[in-house]
Chain A
Amino acid sequence: MNWIVLGASLAAVFVVAAIALALGLGRGAQLGERERVFAMARDFHSGFRPVDAAIDGNDRAAFVRGDDGDFVLLKLHGVHGAGRYFAATPSLESKGGTLLVQTGERMFGTVAIDVGADEARRWAGKREAAHA
């Protein structure tokens, strides 16, 4: 392994990724409708029984409530959904029309779900209710 080989390898890597981009691969992914989001949440955590979902207006994220007071958070990552399971209500906040779900993980981040002001308040209210 010398510097020329390493440089050439890196160049090849970027060319290959650029070709994937030029071919239009992995574009236009969405989480989908309520039923699909429910199915994804069930797949994500076996035994999870979804009853309600806040789905992002741009289909990029969803926050799903289960009948056990548990939650599954899904966010679009590339063309797939990446998720987190919460046995109890995580930290929620409504900001304008957006519901913010904090995962407590720096690299996964806080997930913003655009659901409109009323829905955002309703979901964030669950936290107060749960803590009352």
Chain B
Amino acid sequence: MPEMLPDPVQYAIPAFIILILVEMLIARRVDASRYEPKDTLTSLLLGTGSTVAGALAGGAVVALAVWLSQFRLFEIGYVWWAWIAVFLLDDLAYYVFHRLAHRVRWFWASHVIHHSSQHYNLSTALRQTWTGFFSLSFAFSLPIVLIGFPVPMLLFASGVNLIYQFWIHTEAVGRMPRWFEAVFNTPSHHRVHHATNPRYLDRNYAGMLIIWDRMFGTYERERDDDRPRYGIIKNLGSFNLLWAATHEWIGMAKDVLTIPGWRNKLGYLFGPPGWSHDGSRDTSDTIKARWRDGAESE
């Protein structure tokens, strides 16, 4: 095992808690509906559960990465340009993973946890998956190891990426300066990502840099005449912790077990979320299409 760098996330947790409390005080003055105690409790417990799951699976993932690193193409040390490159590549890998997490049900089953709150505040940022290991989210970073970047360097970069994404989960910040909005992911961009408005569905997958969405055509700007409504298409209507963590896996298992035909079964596993063999359910594409039709006929 190589010498590991400190885990930046652990050091950030006290700051997370302080900022949540500050945001609550702001909410009390501006809009008391920004927080809901039961929702906050669910988010924070899901976050705690996610750290436990991460601790359980993390060792295996790191061991796999270290083992893979013996096949690396280049010998890249801790030089300054490697730090810049690893942040860029890790952020790009996050974009790819995150885009698939919204377009392939197998990955969505795990990522949906993060979107399961109808609130959008700093506590929502901590609502993280318990089952990321099963949806193989770590696989997207492994090419960076194979290129030859040191594993500890990559882990540090993805820790910083996770910390960065905390502060953007807020309605307390309107817009950042234009140059910042052009390059970085911001509260405004990420509000769009968490919104269920047809216009905003499956947009702004960015982690730290919004440039990937602009480059790959998935960017959507937040509009003042279409305020984001947060959550998922079929909101849970329940604060049950275990249900939030597992509902999509359970739904997927039910579909695969009850609907005959291997093509159908594959569709329910790896098709887009909401895909159904008889077209009876909504996907983000059908919702967008219906919304566009409605806008044209008006």
Contacts and interface: CB of A to CB of B under 8 A. Distances in A.
Interface of A: 1, 6, 9-10, 12-14, 16-21, 23-27, 29, 43, 46-47, 75, 77-80, 82-84, 107-109
B41 A1 contact: no
A14 B41 contact: yes
Interface stretch (B131-139, B164-172, B208-216, B235-243): B235-243
Interface string B120-158: 000100000000000000000000000000000000000
Contacts of A82: 118, 231, 235-237
A127 to B, nearest CB: 20
A20 B40 contact: yes
A77 B48 contact: no
A24 B51 CA distance: 29
A43 B294 CA distance: 12
B48 A10 contact: yes
Interface string B33-48: 1111111110011011
Interface residues of B, number: 45
B291 interface: yes
Nearest to A43: B229
B235 A13 contact: no
Interface of B: 17, 20-21, 24-25, 27-28, 32-41, 44-45, 47-48, 51-52, 55, 118-119, 123, 197-198, 229, 231, 234-240, 243, 247, 287, 290-291, 293-294
B35 A46 contact: no
Contact of A6 (B52, B234, B238, B247): B52
B17 A12 contact: yes
Contacts, number: 110
B290 A13 contact: no
A2 to B, nearest CB: 9
B48 A75 contact: no
B236 A26 contact: no
Nearest to B243: A107
Given A26-B33, A80-B119, A80-B235, 19 more contacts: A17-B37, A19-B24, A21-B37, A24-B28, A25-B28, A25-B34, A25-B35, A26-B38, A46-B291, A75-B237, A77-B237, A77-B238, A79-B33, A80-B118, A82-B118, A107-B236, A107-B247, A108-B236, A109-B237
A13 B48 contact: yes
A26 B39 contact: yes
A17 B243 contact: no
Contact of B24 (A9, A13, A25): A25
Contacts of A79: 33, 36
A19 B239 CA distance: 18
Contacts of A12: 17
